[in-house]
Amino acid sequence: MVSARERPNPAAIEMVVAQTLRARESGSMLAKSPDIDLLLRLAGTSQIGRAFQEVGYKRAGPKVLVAAGSGADTGRLTRELREDKRLRPLEKRALTEKDLAFVERAALVAARV
């Protein structure tokens, strides 16, 4: 599960985002929209209520913003996010066993549905 308290590894999150994008292309998403599919995968559950509880917006504490897209708008979005002084990018680091287990759990959510 992704947690803002533990500084998630962007490389692992990118892999989970790729799962959602592939599922969208193949018509096999866990939900009707990619944002909810991603939320479910990040939480490691197929239950929307639990996903919001686990990784959904919390009023207090650190937060993680995940922005994914494709096409021409991606470059513009990337520039705008980098210029936003409220945001600090997370440094990519080598994938750990914990990161790989997180990515695997995200993939297995779809296998159980």
> Could you tell me the two tokens for 77?
């979005």
Structural domain boundaries, residue 91: 10-112
Q: For residue 41, give the nearest of 101, 98, 100, 110 by alpha carbon.
A: 110
List the CATH number of the domain containing 106. Answer: 3.30.2380.10
Q: What is the pLDDT of residue 107?
A: 94
Cβ atoms within 10 Å, residue 68: 16
Q: What is the pTM of this model?
A: 0.82
Structural domain tally of the chain?
1
Is 20 part of any domain?
Answer: yes
> Above pLDDT 70, what percent of the chain?
94
pLDDT digits (tens, 9 = 90+) for 7-38: 789 999 999 999 999 999 999 999 999 999 99
Is 64 part of any domain?
Answer: yes
Is 1 part of any domain?
Answer: no
Is 3 part of any domain?
Answer: no
